Amino acid sequence: QVQLVESGGGSVQAGGSLRLSCAASGYIAGSYYMGWFRQAPGKEREVVATLDSDGGTVYADSVKGRFSISQDNAKNTLYLQMNSLKPEDTAMYYCAADPRHSWYILVRGMALYWGQGTQVTVSS
């Protein structure tokens, strides 16, 4: 059974940094498409960054140049390094994993496996 557990969220001032982690179990690291999503109060969930099984990455325009997605296969952990944080980055952040090797499935929020989320709050 695939399980995803996020950590690393917290409160930070604008301009600060956080690194989110997503510890995965139940599948072979690097074989799934992975992604980070976020949902702010009153807004729809949106994709933040994706990582395919070949190491390809895609970022939302709003986070390009500030966020970086990566994976440590030895630790079976997905990361999201967030720099130059802005108040509009405030949201619950979720990691997702899908074995079907489809960026379109992943980016539309239809991944099979999701974590429980970790809250990020950025104050001005």
Can you give the three-state secondary structure of 18-80, one letter per residue?
Answer: EEEEEEEECCCCCCCEEEEEEECCCCCCEEEEEECCCCCEEECCCCCCCEEEEEECCCCEEEE
Q: What is the pLDDT of residue 46?
A: 97
Q: What is the pLDDT of residue 37?
A: 98
Amino acid at 49: A
| Predicted confidence (pLDDT) at residue 92 exceeds the cutoff of 80 | yes
Q: What is the pLDDT of residue 31?
A: 86
Summarised one tens digit per residue, pLDDT across range 21-66 is 999 998 877 889 999 999 999 999 999 999 999 999 999 999 999 9
Of 44-48, 84-88, 103-107, minimum mean pLDDT range:
103-107
Residues 6+ apart with CB under 8 A from 56: none
Residue 55 region by backbone torsions, left for phi larger than 0, else alpha for psi between -120 and 50, else beta? left
